Structure 1
């Protein structure tokens, strides 16, 4: 039974790491978008408003974008209901990116207040612990995959270079006729 569960846990760890990667990498992107658009005053006002809220009220502020995120993912069910799998996957991918970005931004603004609640801090520490376990589980395999891809790269480059050379010869032969 354990042998059968090993691939499941590995896949679950990879999915968790993808979510964590999106979370970690979208915060700077959202900061860049917020800085690019003149929303700085809005962000400052939002931070000031959150400073005056209790941690429980701050949780509501955080859950609003999370609910939007969930709603965006539900939109992917519409094309799925009509059998449009590719469109559903595209909508789900876009919803994941936008939703994770919105949630990451909201968490960035509300983190300090949310971590004042003991149950939230325990949950946050638990999720960070899961992320560490997922890294310990997946990183050795990911290193092996990266090393294997690095070995394939030179051969693929030389094959691609030979392919381009053949195309050039054919093009030159066609032009010279």
Structure 2
């Protein structure tokens, strides 16, 4: 049983690290997109929904977009790398933009559903534990180093282009 938990933890860690990396890469774009007036209108509309319609509003895009990752992986595995990457990146962009914004708006309503609130607390507790594991800390250190390297490279390129 401990082996299965370890394997599940590694898979979950890899999944969440990939999601976190994707979010880190697209965050500047998402910030600009989230400021569009359409998101304010959607937020006002979603804020007026009840708890269960709010849950459906969040789950529907997730149910439609999560299967895109395995489809993208299948395209990659069958020798169509451009299509595979396009499917994965496109679905991730839409998912992060839409689901994150919707969840942020309707979270207070969702937490009024008893079983959802219990599950949310359990998942967030598990994620807190997972984030403090040695592999997660190592991954955060690596991401910080990569971010610093990216900034240095960007600065070097900008200086070279100017001068």
TM-score normalised per structure 1: 0.59
CA 1:68 to 1:79, structure 2 compared with 1: closer, same or farther past 3 Å?
Answer: same
Aligned counterpart for 1:117 among listed residues 113, 128, 138:
113
Tell me if 1:128 matches 2:124.
Answer: yes
The alpha carbon displacement at 1:109 in A equals 2.1
**1:103 alignment partner in structure 2:** 99
Instruction: Report if aligned partners of 2:34, 2:101 keep a CA contact under 8 Å in 1.
Output: no
State the match for 2:49 in structure 1: 53
- The alpha-carbon distance between structure 1 residues 3 and 123, as it changes in their structure 2 partners (threshold 3 A), is closer
State the shift of 1:19 in Å. Answer: 2.6
Q: 1:21 to 1:105 in 2, by over 3 A?
A: farther
Aligned pair in 2 of structure 1 residues 114, 80: CA closer, same or farther (>3 Å)? Answer: same
Q: CA RMSD of the aligned region, Å? A: 3.9
Higher relative contact order (CA 8 A, sep 6+): 1
Gaps of 5+ in 2: 150-163
Asked whether the equivalents of residues 69 and 100 of structure 1 are also in contact (C-alpha less than 8 Å), the reply is no
Does 1:9 pair with 2:12?
A: no
Q: Distance in 2 between matches of 1:134 and 1:120?
A: 20
Aligned partners of 1:142, 1:78: CA distance in 2, in Å? 26
Structure 2: distance between partners of 1:144 and 1:50: 37
Following the alignment from structure 2 to structure 1, what is the Cα–Cα distance between the partners of residues 50 and 107?
Answer: 13
Separation (CA, whole Å) in 2 of partners of 1:22 and 1:61: 23
Q: Report which of the two structures shows the higher radius of gyration computed on alpha carbons.
A: 1
Question: How many pairs align?
Answer: 145
Whole-Å separation in 2 of the counterparts to 1:143 and 1:73: 23
Write the distance in 2 (CA, Å) between the matches of 1:5 and 1:44.
41
Deviation at 1:55, TM superposition (A): 0.4
Deviating 4+ runs (over 4 angstroms): 1-8, 20-29, 143-147
Aligned to 2:59: 63
